[in-house]
Structure 1
Amino acid sequence: MKKRTFFIFVLFLIPYFTTAETNENHTTLRGHLGSVEVVAFSPDGRTLASGSSPHIIQLWDMDTQRSHTTFEVDAFQVWGLTFSPDGQLLVSGSSEEVLIWNVHTQELNARYQRWYGAIAFSPDGVTSVMFSPNGSTLASGGNDGTVRLWDVGTDQGPTILTGHKYEVNSVAFSPDGRVLASGGGDGTILFWEILSEVSVARIPEDANGDGSVNIDDLTFVADYLGQVGGGNVADVNGDGVVNVLDLVAIAKAMERNPLPQ
């Protein structure tokens, strides 16, 4: 019985051993158990990150063509990967969470989960992520059709950009960081002007970030009732928890500034 158990254990480990095969016009890296959903090079080109199902991110040394680091994630699939411009951080986006890793220490710097995180990201999952060229802003595209801009290094909630009818499949900054492009499942590409080094002012009661306070903000906050933690955009009054008081704050703002008839 011991020999059989050991034999099965070895067979289970074999797929995790990484290999590289070089043919006439390409090199094949092997090591993932499932489908590879996304890949991203580090800025210096020496490291390749790959995300796959189930639950795995691997970092590959392009000199040796071997995987040297494996990160495990809770989500079954990893949809988005991006390195910070200095190559120090790696961000992953998935259906369940956004993770920020320190590439050199291999430590998890931050975890923003779908329902329990301190910062509310797209509730239906993050499909794509991208740093601005100066590394100060992280853009994410979501299955809920929103683009969200995060001020890296703070606990502030994101600026939410709306315009796509369906999921946002990709986001990309222009080289100067002043324009963000997003591609959506509705067949459109939207361009957004990004204010460099200036925070976009937003009304707290405008929880969904569409530029006006209305019933849509009540619906948005209702989806996050019970969440705790600072920086959540649904925490309108900033008391650290999303509850009925936030709904009351929105209702009062609607009374002060009624929509034109």
Structure 2
Amino acid sequence: FELAQHMYEAQIMWIRSRPRVDIKALAICHGRLGKMFLNLGKKNRAIVEFDRQLSLAREISDKPEEADAFFGLGSGYLMNYDYDNAIRYLSIAQTLLNGLGSSAKYSGALRALRECYERLNKPDKMQICSDRIAEVEGETAEKIALANFKIVDLRSRLVHTAAEIEHIVEIERTTFRALHLKTMIRKWELDLEKLEADLAEQDAKGGALAKLLEAIDGELKEAAETDEREMWSYLVHDQPQIVEVEELKIRLQARRTNEIKELEHEQLITKAIQVKIKNTESDIASADEQLVLEEGPLMKHTRLDKPFRCIGLCAANTAGNEVTGTGTGGFEEFATAEGMHIHMIDYHSGSVNYVYIGGSAELGHTGVVTCVLLDGKYLFSGSTDETIIAWSTDDDRKRVRTFVGHEGSIVSLAVEGTFLASGGSDSTLRLWDKHTGVQLRIVYGHSRSILSMEIGPSWMLTGSTDTEVRVWKIGRSKRNSVTVDCTYRLIGHECSVTCVKFGQMEALSGDVKGRIFIWWLKTGQILRKCQVHTGQVK
């Protein structure tokens, strides 16, 4: 109590020293000091503290603090055998507490009032208090019973209810060549539509020129047959006028020659468009034939025999408490790895939108892709070729940069802010600048492959095949370089740790035996072990 008194008094001094005094916090501190003095039997000192609490509460019109202060004052006067003041303050307290809906404190004030009346030998008033106490406690018991019933019902529903599948999406299994053929077919079909529109325009131009030549020939015939010296013409100028017949013949003949040349030119353009249309139709037909082979039964059987090694959902979507990104305008694709290639799959249709090709150093990975991480703007992939590649997920879909440094396969990735963290079979943990590819820190600690990790602004959690879970602290040195220090080694798994999850107070980890461990981070103790799966937890 002595230490508590010093702490409360120091807190009161600190609050009063601030430029803007927090009146409510000050009232709370005086109220707690009063309760402490009541427990110590220092009745007069308690009454002083509760009186200060009451003054502060009235200053800001804080009803809960006023009620507590009146309750405290009444309790202090009761202990001091001043029953008149005790009854006065406790009556006010029980009225306020009843209005605030604080059942427990209201019942406490009624008990104190009943004690006052008992000592004054007033059985009628004492009975009224007892009846009210029984009524309040009965309502409270009923509420507790109802809450317990709801908890039991919820527990039963959680235990006996399985998640329902809302929508099944069949993931398209296709080759890069098939995807490329589909892209080219779509492009050629658009080109064909444009060419057909151009051909229709050319036909219209050719028809107009043919009609014009027909009109010119008609006027020339009329000019040759007429006996008049002048005649009306609609073709020499833009508007009808009278022209001498001989001059009209010369002008019409000259225009006829020019229009014939223009018609021949337009006919050449029309033939060129027709050739392009025929070639495009031929390309589409040929691509369709190849696509039929690529998507035929034999190729499908071959594709289905190649499982996806790993999958990456968008971290930005999951941060918004959804997966598909539809509701929050997030990224509506996820990544899957097959061999050296990475497929980008549409969440809704299951169709392959793009394939990042591997197989050579110029294209991408030269080893099997072992892990993928998608954060929206970039796709990060790790491979048995000991490299990490950052890919752009924009329209260009290109390789942005390569991270080189590990001396073994990359088996886990995590990203936070500008940090990219990677764990490898070389038992090292590495931090990178994801925008530049610069290696910031090599961290040693685990003795085997780091299978799983999670990273935050100032912490990191890792699990390894060495059976350990480690908690790391990320900081900055005086020279502004990145520092990583192990703060806890969580030992308890007897097999490889396959997944980890960080909480503010606890950490969760899963292993190859299907168990989930819950750790208390403050002490490193195991709070609970749960055998929930028959295979490894991922």
The two structures have a TM-score, normalised by structure 2, of 0.29
Q: Does 1:81 align with 2:372?
A: yes
Counterpart contact for 1:39–1:51, Cα < 8 Å: yes
List aligned pairs for 1:127-138, cutoff 5 A.
Answer: 127-132=411-416, 135-138=417-420
Q: Which residue number corresponds to residue 181 of structure 1?
A: 461
Q: Does 1:110 align with 2:396?
A: no
Q: Residues 197-235 of structure 1: CA distance to partner in whole angstroms, max 9, x if unpaired? A: 994358xxxxxx99xxxxxxxxxxxxxxxxxxxxxxxxx
Q: Aligned in 2, Cα 1:15/1:67: closer, same or farther, shift over 3 Å?
A: farther
Q: Does 1:99 align with 2:389?
A: yes
* CA deviation after TM superposition for structure 1 residue 140, in Å: 0.2
List aligned pairs for 1:1-261, cutoff 5 A.
Answer: 11-12=293-294, 14=296, 34-42=306-314, 43-44=316-317, 45=324, 46-53=332-339, 55-73=340-358, 74-84=365-375, 87-96=376-385, 97-104=387-394, 105-112=396-403, 120-132=404-416, 135-174=417-456, 177-195=457-475, 199-200=480-481
With a CA cutoff of 8 Å and minimum separation of 6, indicate the structure with the bigger relative contact order.
1
Unmatched 5+ stretches in structure 2: 1-287, 318-323, 325-331, 359-364, 486-538
Q: Aligned in 2, Cα 1:151/1:199: closer, same or farther, shift over 3 Å?
A: farther
RMSD across aligned C-alpha pairs, in angstroms? 3.4
- 2 CA distance for matches of 1:181 and 1:15? 45
* CA deviation after TM superposition for structure 1 residue 111, in Å: 2.3
Q: Residues 86-131 of structure 1: CA distance to partner in whole angstroms, max 9, x if unpaired? A: x11000001112110000120110123xxxxxxx421112111111
Counterpart contact for 2:476–2:482, Cα < 8 Å: no
- 1 CA distance for matches of 2:297 and 2:421? 34
* CA deviation after TM superposition for structure 1 residue 59, in Å: 0.6
Counterpart amino acid of residue 400 in structure 2: N
Moved over 4 A (4+): 6-18, 196-199
- 1 CA distance for matches of 2:436 and 2:290? 47
Unmatched 5+ stretches in structure 1: 1-5, 19-30, 113-119, 203-208, 211-261
Counterpart contact for 1:16–1:32, Cα < 8 Å: no
Bigger share in helix? 2
Counterpart contact for 1:32–1:52, Cα < 8 Å: no
Counterpart amino acid of residue 389 in structure 2: L
Which is higher, the Rg of structure 1 or of structure 2?
2
Bigger share in strand? 1
The two structures have a TM-score, normalised by structure 1, of 0.58
- 2 CA distance for matches of 1:167 and 1:10? 43
Identity of aligned residues (%): 21
